[in-house]
Each structure stands twice: as structure tokens, then as C-alpha cells.
Structure 1
């Protein structure tokens, strides 16, 4: 599963750079749409970094809770940024996909905090 996340985050991070270049240099659209697309890029890039950090922190932990933040951040990218891209680039009615992506991302942050508290507790118990 971790290999899938590493591959996915690499593709999401790389595609964010390519999309940003296209939006900045080749896409002819209104300022409002461009602002929305730039927001999607920003969160795609930020959350890609969060997936990497989550994966590093999870390491080889046998506990599933440690990998959950990475999954939430990845799904958050797909839903939040993907919803914005679908709306503006493909004229799709994305409905609640974008807000759901935001909620999933917030859940990732909460799970990261819970996972971090677990690491702190285990470190204290083992004498580190």
C-alpha cells in the first residue's frame, strides 16, 4: 500500500507543476476561473508534501492509523483539486466533491495529530 501512495504522490506532485505551467502560460480564461484553478494547484502541491511527510512519519509502523493521514491527504487532493479542475476545465457539475475534499483533508490533519500523539506516548514509554 505504501508503494501505491509514494507513486501516487509523485504523480500528483509532478502533475501539479505541469498544470501550473499550463495555467500560467497556455490557458486563456477569466481571472475568476484562473484564481480558482490556482487555488487547486496550491492545495495539490501543499497536500502532496503532506503525503510525503505522513509517509515518512509512518515509516514501517505496523499500525494502520499511521498511514491514514497520507490516504486522507491523497483523497483530499483528488476530491478538492480534482473537483475544481473538473468544474472549470471539463464543465462538470462537481457538486459537493470539492467541499468533501476539504473535509477529508481536515480529517488527515486530525489523524496526523492523533498519530503524532501516539509516537510521543511510545517514545516516553521506551525512555527516549
Structure 2
């Protein structure tokens, strides 16, 4: 993975998390229940946390493995975006239940990404 791709991916996910956070705080606050809004916010937070990690890894591009990059990138997509889909579809009364099992797969990829960062440190 090139440094530019890592930084661009981080910037894209960071930008989207700000947009989604604002969307949740303003457009969705009167539509979603408190529990749904909390779930949506969890997706936004995890997306931003991992965007920041990708950014740091990109700027310190000392051998970040493609596996770390892909674990975080796919993990963000599966974890955060499945939460967004679940919450928004539930608010419309047509919950996309198939997304439920996808969220923990994304979470596991984020954990594996962190494990790879730990291994890479040694």
C-alpha cells in the first residue's frame, strides 16, 4: 500500500465521519430513538477512530502492511456502515436484518488490525 493511498483512505473516512456525525446530530435526532441515535453515533466514532489510526500509520509509513490497511478499511466498511444501514432501515420500519451478522465481522477485522499493529511494533 502506498503512503498516498493510506492517507487518502484515512481522509475520506474521516471526512465521511464528520458528515455522518453532523447528519446524525441534526437530521436524524428527531427521527431516531435515543437507542438508535446512540448506535449510529457508535458507528461514527469507530469510523473516526480508525480513520485517525490510518492517518497516523500513513504519515509514519514505516512498513505498514497491506493486511493492516485492509483490516482497518474493510473493518470500517463492515462495522460502521452496517450499523448505519441497520439504524436507518429500522427507522424506516424495514430493518435490513442481513446486516446484523456483518457488524461483528467488521469489528473482528478492526481487532485483527490492531493485533497486526501490535505484532508490527515488534
Work out whether 1:32 is the aligned partner of 2:40: no
Q: Tell me the residue number matched to 1:100.
A: 105
For residues 61-111 of structure 1, give each alpha carbon's deviation from its aligned partner in whole angstroms, at most 9, with x where no partner exists.
3xxx63422221111111110110111123322031100111000101110
Q: Tell me the residue number matched to 1:70.
A: 69
Q: Tell me the residue number matched to 1:124.
A: none
User: Which SS does the other structure have where 1:58 is aligned?
Assistant: coil
| Displacement after TM superposition at 1:44 (Å) | 0.6
Q: Which structure's CA Rg is the greater one?
A: 1
List gaps (5 residues or longer) in structure 1: 118-128
Aligned counterparts of 1:26 and 1:77: Cα–Cα separation in 2 = 22
Q: Tell me the residue number matched to 1:51.
A: 54
Give me the TM-score of the superposition, normalised by structure 2.
0.83
Q: Provide the aligned length of Structure 1 versus Structure 2.
A: 113
Aligned counterparts of 1:95 and 1:18: Cα–Cα separation in 2 = 23
Q: Tell me the residue number matched to 1:17.
A: 18
Aligned counterparts of 1:83 and 1:89: Cα–Cα separation in 2 = 10
User: Which SS does the other structure have where 2:70 is aligned?
Assistant: helix
- What is the RMSD of the two structures over their aligned residues, measured on CA atoms? 1.6
Aligned structure 1 segments of 4 or more residues deviating by more than 6 angstroms: none
Using CA pairs under 8 Å that are at least 6 residues apart, name the structure with larger relative contact order, 1 or 2.
Answer: 2
Q: Tell me, yes or no, if the aligned pair for 2:7 and 2:59 is still in contact at 8 Å.
A: no
